[in-house]
Amino acid sequence: MGHDDDLARITDTGLIAIVRLKAAAPLIAVAEAVVAGGVEVIEFTMTTPGALEVLREASAALGDTVLLGAGTVLDEETAVATIEAGARFIVSPTFSESVIRTCQRHGVVSVPGAYSPTEILAAWNAGADLVKLFPAASLGPRFISDVLAPLPDVKLVPTGGIDLDNAGDFIRAGAVAIAVSRNLVDSAAVAAGELGSITESARAFLGAIREARSSMAPPTEVVA
């Protein structure tokens, strides 16, 4: 699997499951619960203590069943460390040209964060594969369609405040994928060992994405 395949896997799935926890111990079990729900793209955030080592272990344990990425990557050094640990995509809350260049050198997908149209275009022109619109909930789905009107080639991934009520709206507005954290991976459910609820949430989000995409499909032409 290479860069282009990994990028296609993200956009085809339409959902990045963000796993952000207070401890690294349950990360692999949570990842397995997400995969059981059909989501093949998972981001381990570097704000979780010990996440780097668990990323390495998860990459070895899960193999090609899941596309693992690293989130909250703020600098080139962290990007290199996560790539060496097995990350196939790198996500940042902000735009760093050096992190994008690092991703390009190593052949991994870059997903820098941006908020304004100027930041979005700067990240895209720097070579970002996808642009993380963050925090998305404060902007709303209409912002995406407004931005894509003059910038139709940019691939946006709204992140922050995405839930089952608005997930489809962001897809219909033109997002190529969404990224979901606590509304998919609920820390209380993890603490209680109720990982089945995470699997069900993953299925529900995928269903919302499929429904939104199907509503956007052009009508089938009827040949008389």
CATH of the domain at 84: 3.20.20.70
What span, in angstroms and rounded, lies between the C-alpha atoms of 77 and 187? 29
Q: Supply the pLDDT for residue 127.
A: 98
What span, in angstroms and rounded, lies between the C-alpha atoms of 72 and 74? 6
Q: Please report whether residue 71 resides in a domain.
A: yes
Q: How far is CA 120 from the centre of its chain?
A: 16
- Looking at this protein, which amino acid is placed at residue 55? L
Domain count, the chain: 1
Q: pLDDT of 159-209, one tens digit each?
A: 999 999 999 999 999 999 999 999 999 989 998 999 999 999 999 999 999
What span, in angstroms and rounded, lies between the C-alpha atoms of 169 and 203? 17
As a whole number, mean pLDDT of residues 104-118 equals: 98
- Domain containing 151 equals 3-209
What is the rounded average pLDDT for all residues in the chain?
Answer: 94
Q: Please report whether residue 216 resides in a domain.
A: no
Q: Please report whether residue 169 resides in a domain.
A: yes
Q: For 174-178, which contacts have Cβ atoms below 8 Å and span 24 or more sequence positions?
A: 174/144, 174/145, 174/148, 175/133, 175/141, 175/144, 176/11, 176/14, 176/130, 177/10, 177/11, 177/13, 177/14, 177/15, 177/16, 177/130, 178/14, 178/15, 178/16, 178/205, 178/209
Alpha helices in 85-133 (DSSP H): 97-106, 117-125
Q: Please report whether residue 220 resides in a domain.
A: no
Q: Is the pLDDT of residue 125 over 60?
A: yes
Q: Please report whether residue 163 resides in a domain.
A: yes
Q: Is the pLDDT of residue 57 over 50?
A: yes
- The residue that leads in pLDDT, 3 or 27, is 3
Q: Please report whether residue 157 resides in a domain.
A: yes
Q: Please report whether residue 214 resides in a domain.
A: no
Q: Please report whether residue 14 resides in a domain.
A: yes
CB 160 within 8 A of CB 18: no
- The residue that leads in pLDDT, 70 or 224, is 70
